[in-house]
Structure 1
Amino acid sequence: MSLLRNVSKISPRFSMAARSTLQQRAMSAVAAAAKHQPKTPIDPTAAGPMLRYQKNLPKLPVPALSATLQKYLKSVRPLLNDEDFKRTEEAVKDFEAPGGLGQKLQERLLARAQDPSVVNWMEDWWLDQAYMGYRDPVVIYVSYFFLYKDDKLRKLPAQRAAAIATAALAFKKEVVNKTLSVEMAKGEPMCMDSYKYMFNNCRMPKKPSDYEAIFDPVNNNHIVVLRKNKFYVVDTIHDGQQLSTAELQHQFEQIINDAGSLKGLAIGALTSDNRDNWTEYRERLVAASPENAKALEKIESSDFIICLDDSTPVTRDEGSRACWHGDGRNRFFDKPLQFIVFENGKAGFMGEHSCMDGTATCRLNEYVCDGLNRNKIEHGSTQIRSSLPQPQALNFQVNDTVLKDIQTAESNFDTLVNKHDLTVLAYQSYGKNLIKKFKCSPDGFVQMVLQLAYYKMFGTSRPTYESAQTRKFQRGRTETARSVTTESVAFVKTMEDPHASTESKLAALRTALKAQGAYMADAVNGHGVDRHLFGLKNTLQNGEEKPKLFQDPAYAYSSHWYISSSQLSSEHFDGYGWGQVVNDGFGCAYMIKNNALQFNVASVKDLEVHGTKYVNGTHHFKQYIEEAANDMRDLLSTELQAEAKL
């Protein structure tokens, strides 16, 4: 999550040398905290437990050039024919030559990494090129969502929204006081720096690159509620005391009543457009009235947004699409946290991805859902104070120019959304528990499911991105784990060979899983191919000719993510996803639950891959995923049964 999108548009991916640790996942980290004594020393000057390891986390390494280039060659080998691979080998050889440009770029990157003033050599480049300088709309291309399971105790929208808000405010308190426990993975603490971007901040549109506005979380104690496209401010503290869940519900009920049945002007739709367009829209909106700037700042500085939608999604597909983008009006897409509650009491979350990856917001949403489910959230008094002020409506003053901008943004949004498709496979046959009985890595197993499904549909293997988190390093974010390997290609071909024996299929799967695990271990240790090459490319100076390595077609092709995948899991979520990163590919977010697997598949409706059109391609890929999951279950069940007879 995360989420991943623009990441794939600017760099290739793969990993480097081998160490033995498997993929780190956000929510398993919390449980691990009590079991392991981390090797990273504690900072005695830290202001709270949340940051106690922060200053002593290792810096993101710069891998050895020769190791990265050999990994790169290994990663592209299964994607290229002999002639193309020979050309790529020559480009790599030229790049690595003693005294050549590759060596100079490596020296520059090492110097940047060793600069005491640079915390993370990749951070600024990545933020700008993968996110802030990216000009396509954040909705579809950047944002991601979680769809919650139903709350059996809270069926009314105001009731459920109030409970969610109370839980989220409890999480905010832990972040602000820095008492939130440190996330751990394999006994190692994770970087907690990104939590400063969670509450009271907003992505701000600007040419040529956006920026992040951070507001004081202590002095800003209000949430913004959207209903019928209208904005309302609810102060969460009154007379020095936080509003109880009952009082928040009362405020939300008043908002629903005040908003009435007629929809307001869709100011929020402006945030759904191309970032340059939104920059201009915002300037004209502010110029229309001084009050508009004040209203915008109220939204931007809020803790988070609650969207009280008037729609009633029923199916997973409907709920997922509603959380992914909704109608484009009852949203403010620049906010990193938007909790969405529907008319029928269903709920979910939408996140803006620029400064925070999905592991942090997954933890927030898990805290909210698990806390409410297990009655761990303190809701306060059921009595509503008579002195409670009314929610404040934000009234924007518009002119004909702003009205035209809104109409344009709405039209652009509708056109964009109508080009995309999304469907959910809720696979109930088995999950993590059975996969572990198969003695397989659950994540690696699902990656092979995706590889087999793609081969079933297209008869070939193509570049696949899997997100690997690098939060064990200071301000680390993600690295690419390339899922297509020589071993994975051999596996899918063996699986689809009707004459191959069960033993050969099992052997091919085990070999492919081992390769995937090694790549993932390298990636989370900061030894991936993609970010290293990205860094080297960024050290090129004006006037220097681009090396053959970066001009080689294999460089672009190997990072053209026909499958862009990532895992975040929660037993409390009924959906999780985002869009594809290339228009001839799929966005495939998945959850590995104890006894189920869930896949969110997104792509353009008119999918065309290498000149061939695939009508209903999104739904067809979903079907092939189910078939692949069945085939792998049947294969490994045979092995399990044979072992039981011994």
Structure 2
Amino acid sequence: MNGSQDLSARTFGNEDGLPRVPLPTVEDSCARFLEWCAPLLTAEQLAATEEAVQRFRGPGSPAHVLQDALLRYDAEDGVHSWLDTFWPYRYLGRRDRIALNANFFFLFADSGASRPGQIERAAELTAAALHHKVRLDEERIPPVVGRGGPQSMEQNKYLFSATRIPGTELDTVRTPYTEQWPGPSTERHIVVFYRGGMFRMDVLGADGTPHSLDDLAAGLCAIIEAGTVGAAPGTSVGHLTTKARAEWASSRQALIDHDPVNAELLDTVERALFCVALDDLVPADDLSAGGALLHGDSGNRWFDKAVSLVVFADGTAGINVEHCCLDGTTILSFVDAMLEEPAREQSRKSGARDQGVPGFAPLRFVLDEVLRADVREADEAFAAYAADTATTIVSFDDFGGDAAKRLRISPDAFVQMAYQLAHRRAKGKTGATYESIATRQFHHGRTEAMRVVTPEVLDFVAAMEDPAADAATRRAALRAAADKHVARAKECQAGQAPEQHLWELQLVQRRRGAELGVTGPLALYDSPGWTTMRDDYLSTSSAPSVNISYFGFGSTSSQCIGVAYVLLPERFNLHLSTPRAVAGEMHLFAEQVRVAVRELRDLLAADTDG
């Protein structure tokens, strides 16, 4: 595509014209890998890693056989990217629980005193989501344009009726726009959760016309009246979606085997457009709301559903997202579309009309005592797991992206440097740090894994911690680290990053090693560099939208702090999570982030060249 004049206005009209994700060479990825991991290693560890890399990329190495196989795969008909297989293995291959560990949430910006009550808010969000679906089905959602060209819109196909299905060794995902389910979803219902009970509710009429806002509110009122008593203990099957994936697969099969009604109910849930969870909780504050969105009452959730809108008793609302087909950028666009225009206007534009109270029915699984015990055990285990996760929030109402720009520094680089300084002060070390970088300018593009720690970062932190270093020295070190951060981010945006490529070569061996004659261990994947670089101490991701108060996800390891941040022109909010065993370090990190932001801002503001 050579300019805006060539762009299609249809939602998916530009996808096939997008450039393909570039496939790096083994040599390039190995060189970048050594550069990326070196700042985290001792001299001895780096020497061992260099030796392993030399064997990996040397003549006759099995790595070249794996690379050739990946090149052939990338050239096959119907393959959109060399990452087509990587993404399912990355997300669907994980065997731990996805609730809290993988799903993420957005807490919608509070509308203050004008915020509607629970039923009205849920009806409004449902109507807005239906408007989005109507436009999406007709490809009237304008394609996103950025970085000089159109962005991939492919993930939008998985906003409605997409559901992850647990498997023993590998999960699958049930979605429209596939050979098994061509085109957009034609389902007419959502699933509503209330007090552990599940209800199917029609939101589209028989001819596909959305129910009016008043109809939707009436339907939700009827469900609340029908579910007032709440589900009996051991009957809220949503608890099972919190289990480790193979265990949930076994439980799901047990449900199906026990009674054919259960298979029908699972089909109803899995084909539903989305879920709406009505919670009794009145969040005490944003932190409380975030925790409920991240894990909440697991009997009132179906964590495998791509999109679950959660509305609390006071009208506070947010979204919980299953990650396998959806990244934050797509969900941000969806949330912005839902919230940037009054719901009644969106309902009108969708063609909604009064059709009476929507049809609804309870979804009651047929359970014996063994299955009820399974549900109770899942409930108890997840409650304990959630209790072992500590979270906190940090908010700045006097600092944002505009302030960073006035200081002549990249806003994202500024906050990432603040994280590095705060982490050193909180934990006494610089640890591996992950940052998600969007690559949607490519055909079926998703994200790239960026590693933040560079030699320049080490120099910057050292200068800040050196009492003998003057302000000029510290400023120069900060700007050098920020410039390097920006340069690396641009490399990642261009698909020039080593980690996912090397990881996919490892996965090719696991999947096809016997066929390709590559069965022995490859030293790179046991090297100090590989294991250290991927052992996160900070896992960071950004979600910039005025419609979001907080964004959050769980920690990724026993020492990791998950850092989800909303960096806007005039404000900056963070949600942090970590295992409770190291909660003290997270709280110290939070305090140090506050200090670091002020300190770095003052340092740059004092620059007479500014």
Q: TM-score, normalised by structure 1?
A: 0.88
Pairing 1:622-637 to 2, within 5 Å after superposition:
622-637=590-605
2:521 paired with 1:551: no
Query: How far apart are 1:42 and its partner, in Å?
Result: 5.1
- Extract unaligned runs of 5+ from structure 1: 1-32, 608-614
Separation in 2, partners of 1:150, 1:67: 47
Separation in 2, partners of 1:443, 1:210: 34
Separation in 1, partners of 2:246, 2:589: 34
Pairing 1:394-473 to 2, within 5 Å after superposition:
394-473=363-442
Pairing 1:319-334 to 2, within 5 Å after superposition:
319-334=289-304
Separation in 2, partners of 1:199, 1:383: 18
Q: Counterpart in 1 of 2:250?
A: 280
Secondary structure of 2:382's aligned partner: helix
Q: Counterpart in 1 of 2:68?
A: 107
Query: How far apart are 1:288 and its partner, in Å?
Result: 2.6
Cα gap change, 1:124/1:102 in structure 2, threshold over 3 Å: closer, same or farther?
closer
Separation in 1, partners of 2:246, 2:36: 36
2:274 paired with 1:304: yes
- Which range is displaced more, 555-564 or 544-553? 544-553
Contact kept in structure 2, 1:605 and 1:618, CA below 8 Å: no
Query: How far apart are 1:132 and its partner, in Å?
Result: 1.1
Q: Counterpart in 2 of 1:30?
A: none
2:341 paired with 1:371: yes
Contact kept in structure 2, 1:605 and 1:617, CA below 8 Å: no
Q: Percent identity?
A: 28
Q: Counterpart in 2 of 1:37?
A: 3
Contact kept in structure 2, 1:463 and 1:482, CA below 8 Å: yes
Secondary structure of 2:299's aligned partner: coil
Separation in 1, partners of 2:438, 2:402: 24
Query: How far apart are 1:38 and its partner, in Å?
Result: 4.7
What CA deviation, in whole Å up to 9, does each residue of 1:12-54 have, x standing for no partner?
A: xxxxxxxxxxxxxxxxxxxxx9xx9359x557xxxx7112111
Aligned pair partner of 1:247 in 211, 215, 223: 215
- Which range is displaced more, 134-143 or 180-189? 180-189
Q: Which amino acid aligns with 2:302?
A: F
Contact kept in structure 2, 1:431 and 1:596, CA below 8 Å: yes
Cα gap change, 1:116/1:384 in structure 2, threshold over 3 Å: closer, same or farther?
closer
Q: Which amino acid aligns with 2:20?
A: K
Pairing 1:488-527 to 2, within 5 Å after superposition:
488-527=457-496
Q: Which amino acid aligns with 1:555?
A: W
Aligned pair partner of 2:133 in 167, 172, 192: 172
Cα gap change, 1:307/1:379 in structure 2, threshold over 3 Å: closer, same or farther?
farther
Secondary structure of 2:573's aligned partner: strand
Query: How far apart are 1:383 and its partner, in Å?
Result: 12
Query: How far apart are 1:618 and its partner, in Å?
Result: 2.4
Cα gap change, 1:471/1:385 in structure 2, threshold over 3 Å: closer, same or farther?
closer
Aligned pair partner of 1:233 in 200, 204, 210: 200
Secondary structure of 1:208's aligned partner: coil
Cα gap change, 1:438/1:295 in structure 2, threshold over 3 Å: closer, same or farther?
same
Cα gap change, 1:387/1:516 in structure 2, threshold over 3 Å: closer, same or farther?
closer
Cα gap change, 1:457/1:162 in structure 2, threshold over 3 Å: closer, same or farther?
same
Q: Counterpart in 1 of 2:283?
A: 313
Query: How far apart are 1:565 and its partner, in Å?
Result: 0.5
Q: TM-score, normalised by structure 2?
A: 0.93
Secondary structure of 1:242's aligned partner: coil
Cα gap change, 1:389/1:378 in structure 2, threshold over 3 Å: closer, same or farther?
closer
Cα gap change, 1:625/1:482 in structure 2, threshold over 3 Å: closer, same or farther?
same
- Which range is displaced more, 67-76 or 431-440? 67-76
Secondary structure of 1:429's aligned partner: coil
2:574 paired with 1:599: yes
Contact kept in structure 2, 1:225 and 1:307, CA below 8 Å: yes
Aligned pair partner of 1:221 in 176, 188, 192: 188
Q: Counterpart in 2 of 1:563?
A: 538
Q: Counterpart in 1 of 2:325?
A: 355
Contact kept in structure 1, 2:12 and 2:143, CA below 8 Å: yes
Query: How far apart are 1:57 and its partner, in Å?
Result: 1.4
2:34 paired with 1:73: yes
Separation in 1, partners of 2:576, 2:124: 30
2:96 paired with 1:136: yes
Query: How far apart are 1:385 and its partner, in Å?
Result: 4.9
Secondary structure of 1:566's aligned partner: strand
Separation in 1, partners of 2:269, 2:393: 32
Q: Counterpart in 1 of 2:587?
A: 619
Separation in 2, partners of 1:106, 1:382: 52
Query: How far apart are 1:169 and its partner, in Å?
Result: 0.8
Query: How far apart are 1:146 and its partner, in Å?
Result: 0.3
Q: Which amino acid aligns with 2:166?
A: P
Separation in 1, partners of 2:121, 2:371: 34
Q: Which amino acid aligns with 1:143?
A: N
What CA deviation, in whole Å up to 9, does each residue of 1:583-618 have, x standing for no partner?
A: 1111111111111111111000002xxxxxxx5222
Q: Counterpart in 2 of 1:3?
A: none
Separation in 2, partners of 1:37, 1:325: 44
- Extract unaligned runs of 5+ from structure 2: none
Separation in 2, partners of 1:505, 1:317: 34
Query: How far apart are 1:186 and its partner, in Å?
Result: 1.2
Separation in 1, partners of 2:352, 2:533: 61
Pairing 1:266-277 to 2, within 5 Å after superposition:
266-277=236-247
Contact kept in structure 2, 1:204 and 1:210, CA below 8 Å: yes
Secondary structure of 1:449's aligned partner: helix
Query: How far apart are 1:387 and its partner, in Å?
Result: 4.3
Contact kept in structure 1, 2:190 and 2:275, CA below 8 Å: yes
Corresponding pairs, count? 594
Contact kept in structure 1, 2:124 and 2:213, CA below 8 Å: yes
Cα gap change, 1:294/1:78 in structure 2, threshold over 3 Å: closer, same or farther?
same
Query: How far apart are 1:74 and its partner, in Å?
Result: 1.2
Separation in 2, partners of 1:42, 1:370: 25
Query: How far apart are 1:211 and its partner, in Å?
Result: 0.6
Contact kept in structure 1, 2:215 and 2:356, CA below 8 Å: no
Contact kept in structure 2, 1:435 and 1:442, CA below 8 Å: yes
Cα gap change, 1:435/1:565 in structure 2, threshold over 3 Å: closer, same or farther?
same
Secondary structure of 2:444's aligned partner: coil
Query: How far apart are 1:376 and its partner, in Å?
Result: 5.3
Higher relative contact order (CA 8 A, sep 6+): 1
Separation in 2, partners of 1:119, 1:239: 36
Query: How far apart are 1:67 and its partner, in Å?
Result: 2.3
Secondary structure of 1:138's aligned partner: coil
Separation in 1, partners of 2:230, 2:499: 50
Separation in 1, partners of 2:78, 2:307: 31
2:564 paired with 1:589: yes
Separation in 1, partners of 2:231, 2:280: 10
Query: How far apart are 1:534 and its partner, in Å?
Result: 1.3
What CA deviation, in whole Å up to 9, does each residue of 1:97-123 have, x standing for no partner?
A: 233333333333222223334221122
Cα gap change, 1:38/1:445 in structure 2, threshold over 3 Å: closer, same or farther?
farther
Q: Counterpart in 2 of 1:12?
A: none
Q: Counterpart in 2 of 1:580?
A: 555
Cα gap change, 1:415/1:168 in structure 2, threshold over 3 Å: closer, same or farther?
same
Contact kept in structure 2, 1:246 and 1:384, CA below 8 Å: no
Query: How far apart are 1:386 and its partner, in Å?
Result: 7.4
What CA deviation, in whole Å up to 9, does each residue of 1:538-594 have, x standing for no partner?
A: 333235322222221221111111111011111121110101111111111111111
Query: How far apart are 1:469 and its partner, in Å?
Result: 1.6
Query: How far apart are 1:96 and its partner, in Å?
Result: 2.2
Q: Counterpart in 2 of 1:18?
A: none
Separation in 2, partners of 1:248, 1:207: 38
Separation in 1, partners of 2:31, 2:354: 68
Separation in 2, partners of 1:319, 1:597: 18
Contact kept in structure 1, 2:195 and 2:227, CA below 8 Å: yes
